[in-house]
Amino acid sequence: MSKANLERHEEDFIILMILSLVTATIGIEQEYFEAVMSVSKATENPLLAAIDPTYYSDVERFMEHRTAILEGMSIYFVSRTS
């Protein structure tokens, strides 16, 4: 996964990030989430900007904070439709 590909296909990668949050068991989802967030432009995306980097720093924290990440994303989507 290159940064150029992540930047070029940002929307597709974000959709996969959201799907990684709702999986029943964790495999590489935390690593994928961390890789996407490491792209320089990721924090410029309003959907991703408010996500605390410690939430996906390791698998345990990722599991613990998946709900908070989803809630933050939901707030973003609701604010866009209001």
Q: What are the φ and ψ backbone dihedral angles of 33, each rounded to 5 degrees?
A: -60, -45
What digits encode the pLDDT tens for the residues 33-61?
A: 888 888 767 778 888 887 888 888 899 99
Q: What pLDDT, on a 0 to 100 scale, did the predictor assign at position 61?
A: 92
Q: What is the pTM of this model?
A: 0.72
Distances 42 to 6, 46, 50, 54 between C-alpha atoms, Å? 9, 9, 11, 15
